[in-house]
C-alpha cells in the first residue's frame, strides 16, 4: 500500500492555469479598498504548512531560499545585495533587510544558530503610508535534519467579509511544490491531480482518505462507467489542483476504478458518474454521508452564475477556510525547537501574530474567514492579481 502519491507526468497535459488562482496578485494602488480601516486591518486568509522534500544532501534549503528571493523579485524587481546570504555580516546572529519598490514593501530576517536555520520574508503589496492591500508571509526554517516552510496570506477584513472576494495561495507555494517538493503526514502535496488508473491507486486513495493524520480535504472525482480521460471531468482538475496546492488533495478515478472503490467502501461513500466528493479530514466509513458531501455533475454545471469555474472557486475557499482553522495554535505553526528564534525574528519582521483573536473567534463575529460561496473571480476584477513575470516562473520550475 503506497504511503505517498506518485508525482503526475507533467507531459500528459499542459496545465491550463487560472491567473487569479495561480499567481499571487499585484494590486494597483488606484484600486485599493476605499477606507483606511479596510486597507490596514488585515486578517489571515490562507495558511500552508509543509515539509520540504529532502534531496539527500541538504540542498533543498538553498534551493527553496533561492525560489523565495526570485518570487519576491517577480513582484518588486531586483533586490539589494543584502538579501543574498553571502552578504550577511560575519558573526551576525540575525540579519535584517528591508526594501521598498513598485508600491510594495519587502522585509527579510535571516538567522542561523547551530543546526537551526531561519529565513522569513514578508511582502506587502500596494503598500504606502504604512498600509497594505494584502500581505504574504513566508517562513523557511530547519530544525535538525528537517526543513519546513510556512506560508500565510493576509487580506483586508473588508474583503473577507465579501462572499465573492477571491482567495489564493501565495505563488511561492506552487514554486516549492514543483521543486524541491512539499510533503505532509508522509504524502506529497501536488500541483497537479492524482490520476488513479489501477487497483494500487485505489488502495492508496483509501489509505489517504482514512488516515488519521490527514489534515486536508480530498477532492475526488469519479468518471463515467467507461470513461478513462480525466478531461471529461465536470471541473478542470488541473485548474483545481493549482488553486488548492498545499490546501487539499485532488484525485480523479477512471470509470473502472470507481467500481473498485465502491467494492471497498460501499456505494454511499464512493464517488462515480462524474460526481465530485469532498472527503473531509477524520473520515471514517460509517460517518454520516453529509459529512463528506458529493456534488452531482448537474449541480456542478449549474453552480451559481459560473458553473464549473465557480464550483472550483468555492472548493478553494472551503479549503482556505479549513487551512486557517487548523493553524489555530502556535504549535502547529512552529515546532518548539525554533520557538525562541521565531519570536525574535517575528518582532524584527513586523509580522502580525497569526494566532491572535481572529483565529480563535467563531466565524459569526465577522473576524474570521467565512465558509463563503462562489462568486465572480475574473482576472479583470478590481483588486485581483496580475501575472507574475514569465521569466521568473520559468526559473522556478
pLDDT, residue 83, reads: 85
| Residue 70, all three cell numbers | 526570485
Q: How far is CA 253 from each of CA 134, 155, 204, 276, 381, rounded to the nearest angstrom?
A: 37, 35, 12, 11, 35
Helix, strand and coil content of the chain, in percent to the nearest 5, comes to 35, 20, 40
Alpha-carbon dihedral of residues 159, 316, 183, 255, nearest 10 degrees?
180
Reported as a single tens digit per residue, the pLDDT across 282-297 is 888 777 878 899 999 9
pLDDT, residue 37, reads: 37
The whole model's pTM is what?
Answer: 0.76
Alpha-carbon dihedral of residues 79, 84, 89, 91, nearest 10 degrees?
140
As a whole number of angstroms, the distance between CA 365 and CA 357 comes to 11
Ranges of the chain with pLDDT below 50: 1-40, 128-130, 348-349, 351-397
Reported as a single tens digit per residue, the pLDDT across 74-115 is 988 899 888 887 777 766 667 778 888 877 889 888 887 777
Beta strands 218-222 and 249-253: pairing type? parallel
Tally of CB atoms within 10 A around 278: 19
Using DSSP, how many helices (H) and how many strands (E) does the chain show? 14, 13
Ordered by where they begin, the domains of the chain are 25-184+329-357 (no CATH), 190-321 (3.40.30.10)
pLDDT, residue 239, reads: 93
pLDDT, residue 110, reads: 85
SS3 of residue 243 by DSSP? helix
**Concatenated DSSP letters of 186-203:** TEE--SS-EEE-SHHHHH
pLDDT, residue 163, reads: 63
CA angle 212/213/219 to nearest 5° reads 85
Amino acid at each position: 500500500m503506497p504511503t505517498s502519491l506518485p508525482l503526475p507526468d507533467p507531459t500528459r497535459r499542459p496545465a491550463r492555469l487560472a491567473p487569479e488562482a495561480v499567481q499571487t496578485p499585484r494590486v494597483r494602488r488606484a484600486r485599493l479598498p476605499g477606507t483606511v480601516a479596510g486597507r490596514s486591518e488585515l486578517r489571515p486568509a490562507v495558511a500552508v504548512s509543509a515539509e520540504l522534500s529532502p534531496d539527500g544532501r541538504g540542498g533543498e534549503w538553498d534551493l527553496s531560499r533561492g525560489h523565495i528571493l526570485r518570487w519576491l523579485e517577480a513582484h518588486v524587481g531586483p533586490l539589494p545585495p543584502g538579501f543574498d546570504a553571502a552578504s550577511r555580516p560575519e558573526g551576525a546572529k540575525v540579519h535584517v533587510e528591508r526594501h521598498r519598490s513598485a508600491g510594495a514593501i519587502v522585509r527579510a530576517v535571516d538567522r542561523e544558530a547551530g543546526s537551526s536555520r531561519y529565513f522569513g520574508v514578508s511582502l506587502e503589496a500596494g503598500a504606502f503610508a504604512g498600509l497594505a492591500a494584502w500581505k504574504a508571509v513566508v517562513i523557511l526554517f530547519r530544525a535538525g535534519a528537517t526543513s519546513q516552510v510556512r506560508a500565510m496570506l493576509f487580506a483586508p477584513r473588508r474583503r473577507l467579509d465579501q462572499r465573492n472576494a477571491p482567495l489564493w495561495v501565495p505563488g511561492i507555494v506552487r514554486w516549492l511544490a514543483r521543486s524541491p517538493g512539499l510533503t505532509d503526514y508522509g504524502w506529497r502535496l501536488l500541483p497537479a491531480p492524482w490520476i488513479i488508473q489501477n487497483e494500487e491507486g485505489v488502495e492508496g486513495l483509501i489509505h489517504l482518505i482514512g488516515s488519521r493524520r490527514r489534515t486536508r480535504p480530498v477532492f475526488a472525482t469519479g468518471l463515467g462507467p467507461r470513461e478513462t480521460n480525466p478531461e471529461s471531468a465536470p471541473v478542470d482538475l488541473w485548474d483545481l489542483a493549482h488553486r488548492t496546492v498545499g490546501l487539499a488533495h485532488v484525485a480523479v478515478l477512471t470509470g473502472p476504478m470507481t467500481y473498485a472503490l465502491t467494492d471497498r467502501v460501499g456505494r454511499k461513500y464512493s464517488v462515480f458518474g462524474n460526481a465530485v466528493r469532498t472527503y473531509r479530514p477524520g473520515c471514517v466509513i460509517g460517518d454520516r454521508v453529509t459529512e463528506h458531501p458529493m456534488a452531482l455533475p448537474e449541480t456542478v454545471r449549474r453552480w451559481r452564475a459560473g458553473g464549473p469555474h465557480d464550483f472550483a472557486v468555492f472548493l478553494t475557499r472551503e479549503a482556505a477556510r479549513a487551512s486557517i482553522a487548523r493553524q489555530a495554535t502556535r504549535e502547529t505553526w512552529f515546532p518548539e525547537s525554533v520557538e525562541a528564534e521565531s519570536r525574535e525574528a517575528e518582532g524584527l519582521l513586523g509580522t502580525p501574530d497569526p494566532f491572535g483573536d481572529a483565529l480563535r473567534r467563531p466565524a459569526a463575529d465577522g473576524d474570521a474567514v467565512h465558509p463563503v460561496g462562489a462568486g465572480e473571480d475574473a482576472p479583470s476584477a478590481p483588486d485581483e492579481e496580475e501575472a507574475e513575470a514569465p521569466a521568473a516562473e520559468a526559473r522556478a520550475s
